[in-house]
Amino acid sequence: MKKTWITTSVLGMTLVAGVTAYTYEAPRHVEAKPQTESKKKVKNVIMMIPDGYSASYATNYRWYNGGDETELDRQLKGMMRTYSASSKVTDSAAAGTAMATGTKTNNGTIGMNPSGQEVESILDRADRVGKSTGLVATSAITHATPAVFASHVASRANEADIAKQYMDEMKVDVLLGGGQKYFFDKENGGVQEAGNLVKKAERAGYQYADSLESLQETDGRKVLGLFAEEGMAPELDRELTKQPSLSTMTKKAIQTLNKDKEGFFLMVEGSQIDWAGHAHDAAWAMKDSDAFHKAVKEAMRFAAKDKNTLVVVAGDHETGGMTVGGYDEYVAKPEVLKNVKATGDQMVRQFNDDLTNIAEIVKQETSFDLTAQEVKTLQTADSKKRVMLLNEMISKRAYVGWTTTVHTGVDVPLYAYGPHSDQFAGLHDNTDLPGLIANAMKLKK
C-alpha cells in the first residue's frame, strides 16, 4: 500500500511537471508544450542559486510582490536537503561543493572532499567537452558559492588563491561580480602593477569591465567583469553606484556564452539574499529576491526561445530562520517592505554624529514612524548593534520574524524548467543536482 502511494505521488508530480515545464510567460504566456524530451541531450544549463533562500523567503516574497504566483512558483518541482559532511546545518562552501560536485564536504571547504582531495565540478565536466562556462554573483566572484565551481581550497577565506586559480586555469569564460581586490596588485598607492590578474586575463583574450557601461560595450567570447572592491551593492542601494544589476549580468553572460555552438554551463548566484538574512534586514532580503527573480526571467526567456536549455534553481541553505508572521499575532505584512528605499546599513550611515536625526532618516527611507522608545534604543545602542536593531524594528512592522543570525538546516525548494526538468521532482539531496544535470547534458565521467 505504501509503495503504491509513493508511485502514484511521483506519477502525479511528473504529470504536474509535464504541464508546467513549458509555461513560462514572456511577457505573459508562451504556448504550453508537454514535457516529453527526457531523452533529449540538453545543450545549455543555467544553474541559479538564491543564497539563503527557503520556503519562508519564497512565501514572504510572494506576498511582497502582490500575492500572485511568481516565476519560480510556476517551476516548483520538489525540495532539497542541505546538510554537510560535518553538520546538519551547512555553510555556503560545503553546500555549494555538494551542488557543484556531488560530494558532501566539511563546512568551510571549497571543491574538496573531507579528506582534502580535489573533486571535479559540473562546470569542469562541461568545460572538458568544449562547452563555454560562466559564473555570475553579486558577492565577490571569489566568494564561496561561485568558487566551488572552479577552484579547490581548504578554506573559503583564501579568496586570493581562488582568484589565482581562476586565472591560472582560465576554464571560466565569463566571470561577473565583485572582488577587484583579489585580482589587482594594489601597491604603490593603488597603482595597478603589471603582474595583476586582470592584465593576465586581458593578455589571454578576456575583455575587462568595471561598470555597467563598460560591461554593455563588451562583445567578445570571454569577459571578466569586476564591479566592486569586494561584494557589490545591495539592490536597494545599487542606484548609488555604476554597477549592473543581477539580471543585466545574467543577460550579458547568456549572450556571451551562447556564441559557442557547443553550448554552455552558467551558474548565477543571488548572493545577498543570504547577507540580508544574516543582518535580519527583511527589506534587503525581499529586494534582492526581486532582483533574483528578474534574473530568473532572463534565463527563462532565453530557455523558452532556445528550447534546448535546462534551468535549475535552488537555494543552498536557509539563512536567519525567517518566519512569515510572528510576534504573537496571526498577521503577516511583507508588502509594507515595498516602502523601504535603503538597507539598514545605508540608513545608519546617514545618522548624524549626535544621533538626533534618526527618526527623520528612517521616515524618509521607509515611511515608518519610530516610537520615542525605539529612537532612544538606537541612540543608546552599541554602534555595532545599531544596524541589526533597526533592521529588526523594520522587520517587525512587516511581521517578518527571525530565529538566528546564522544558517538553519531546513530543506529548501527546488525548481526546474526545460528539457529533463521532470527529473527534479521529489525530495533530493543537494549532491543529486550535478548528476542530474550531467545526465541531461549527456556528460561522461
Task: Provide the annotated active-site residues.
Answer: 92
CA distance 136 to 159: 16
Q: Distances in Å between the alpha carbon of 75 and those of 83, 100, 136, 316?
A: 24, 21, 22, 17
3-class DSSP state for residue 46?
A: strand
Helix boundaries (H) for 307-357: 344-349
Q: What does the DSSP assignment read for 16-44?
A: HHHHHTT---SSS---------TTSPPSE
Residues 232/139, Cβ–Cβ less than 8 Å: yes
The burial class, CB within 10 Å (0-12 / 13-18 / 19+), for 369 is exposed
The burial class, CB within 10 Å (0-12 / 13-18 / 19+), for 328 is exposed
Helix boundaries (H) for 259-343: 272-279, 282-306
3-class DSSP state for residue 45?
A: strand
Counting every residue, how long is the chain?
445
Place of cell 593603488: 190
C-alpha cell at 160: 586570493
Q: Which of 94, 11, 50 has its CA nearest to residue 429?
A: 94
CA distance 218 to 173: 13
Residues 97/111, Cβ–Cβ less than 8 Å: yes
Helix boundaries (H) for 21-137: 55-64, 92-101, 122-128
C-alpha cell at 133: 562556462
C-alpha cell at 136: 555570475
Q: Distances in Å between the alpha carbon of 350 and those of 347, 355, 357, 360, 362?
A: 5, 10, 9, 10, 10
CA distance 136 to 132: 14
